[in-house]
Structure 1
């Protein structure tokens, strides 16, 4: 029944209800490589963040204390995974996920001054969409050591409309990176430790900035993930992960953006992120198993971007799995306490003066739910 317990663990740690730094929406995993026999999974997730803040300076028609309203939109996640054993030593896998995304809306039709079309960020919207396909091959060097690697293709696009009339829309670009890793196992105690490296991927975008055709490059960051699990008692599994993402390498700086806003990047990050997850899985009987998890990502301090006013998070999640012959259905929910953040006033509002706090975002949260249907054959 190891697979029944780890199904809940995998759902809580990976694709459909992940919450991480930057614009990451899913944390790619290679857990399906260790499923018994041939394997197919379908994933669906829904995430509802609630992020709002208060204006700290007089700007536009807004004043200190004006509220932004909820500027973070709900979104769905889709995922797919397939693994096939070619022989006793060699397996291949194909994974589809939606790794990066953003839905920002300081809507002009809210009732709040800060986001109601009369404030510095009124009518500001931004979206980022992505799809990725990863092709992997895994080779068992010996009973306890497996190595794996492959290629990853990511397609990304985005658009933004700012308070000052600046607009930008990118082309849809597909570029490639690679995945490498290795794992150690002791199946008799359900123990496994795996390391996964995802390379950076650089997009060269064509952009339309207020009708002008420009070009710019953005690098999707490299990452390193350590996942582990072990049996700690009869029918009980301890699992967890540590994930580092090189977000300081990520920067969106369209050519004409600095001219329109008195300098700076549209989106960038001053710090990398390290995300921790720890959980326990339990088999209740031959049909039902469950998992609990806790997650943590430290706040970095300093300013967060106005298009992403969050800084770290803490989460608790629960999942249940029902096993019916070769089919497993897992559902999970996660509650996320989103870290408090302060945002910097754009230079266009301060005459170029840096370090002026525009928004104070605190006491925010999110709720995520996921569903996975898995089939071993």
Structure 2
């Protein structure tokens, strides 16, 4: 039971992170390290969010000044890849190496939106938009003690780059060069295989990046500048236990310290003066609870529920969401050496009030996302 259900649970929990707080993408899970023997694993998720809002236009340069303007769907669909290899170095020592994209953003507003209009060139078509990409490789060791406990430790190398365009701030644009930096992962786990029980607690350190960037606006020209940005520290608590024959209860709690993520390029000012380009007031807690059942020797299924509470408002226009709830379904088919999983998740994205500039707030309501994914875990020995 345990082998088949674990693959289903890993997929469902991973899909929850497809549209979580801040710019969370992968959830930084480490379930691969608990696979038996030597395995390779590939997972690919796809999320299609729909996020839109309205804003009373107070931009004096805008042709729709005084009118309520729709943002259009500001979010782009995205993929969340994962690739990993795990092996047992000795009877007590395991090693895994994993690739994922832990954080990311990709959004673009309507060209008619007030913050998409440059007051110094109002007839030029432009959009408020942003892209941010991270790639991470984590090498993780696990040492197993004789009492069911184990210790986890590893190193993470992460690459970050971003581009942001804010036309309402005199045609402001910033484009960073890619920067690579290092962090670490530490944790503990406890297992009791007889009842398929496991609890793991892992800490992901913040990672500080020194970004070289080019900032441009019509009023200041082009300047080569530098900024420091930190991707936030986080803690993952994952648990599972058998509760009845062929039935597994599982879940997770993820905490992310989003206020650590502050981006303040020196040339940037907001529509009303000095401001941070990206910041978050509150940390987030994301909860997942699921139930899995083994229908046959080859097939298992699971249902999951997810929840993230709302934080402070107004939120940033570069992340105009606030909390969510979700429901997901997944299934796993087990072959002799392979486990093939698939799943789907619906997320109801929380309503949000965003800072629309010029003394006005935008209202983002009625938003949602669909996520699908598949995973293949192949046993090499």
TM-score, with length taken from structure 1: 0.93
In the TM superposition, residue 9 of structure 1 has moved relative to its aligned partner by 0.9
In the TM superposition, residue 119 of structure 1 has moved relative to its aligned partner by 9.1
What does 1:129-208 correspond to in 2, within 5 Å?
129-164=133-168, 165-208=171-214
CA contact (8 A) 1:73 1:104 kept: yes
**Which of 72, 77, 80 is the aligned partner of 1:74?**
77
In the TM superposition, residue 301 of structure 1 has moved relative to its aligned partner by 3.4
Aligned to 1:218: 229
SS in structure 2 of the partner of residue 18 of structure 1: helix
**Which of 44, 61, 64 is the aligned partner of 2:63?**
61
In the TM superposition, residue 14 of structure 1 has moved relative to its aligned partner by 2.1
1:245-293 deviations in Å (ceiling 9; x for gaps): 0001111111101288621111100000000000011110011111110
TM-score, with length taken from structure 2: 0.92
Aligned to 1:333: 344
Cα distance in 1 between the residues matched to 2:78 and 2:19? 12
What does 1:225-304 correspond to in 2, within 5 Å?
225-258=236-269, 262-304=273-315
In the TM superposition, residue 193 of structure 1 has moved relative to its aligned partner by 0.5
Cα distance in 1 between the residues matched to 2:203 and 2:129? 33
Aligned to 2:219: none
In the TM superposition, residue 357 of structure 1 has moved relative to its aligned partner by 3.3
SS in structure 1 of the partner of residue 5 of structure 2: helix
**Count of aligned residue pairs for this structure pair:** 365
Deviates more, 1:2-11 or 1:252-261: 252-261
SS in structure 2 of the partner of residue 251 of structure 1: coil
Please, which runs of 5 or more residues in structure 2 have no aligned partner? 120-124, 217-221
CA contact (8 A) 1:61 1:119 kept: no
SS in structure 1 of the partner of residue 33 of structure 2: helix
SS in structure 2 of the partner of residue 70 of structure 1: coil
Which segments of structure 1 move beyond 6 Å, counting only runs of 4 or more? none
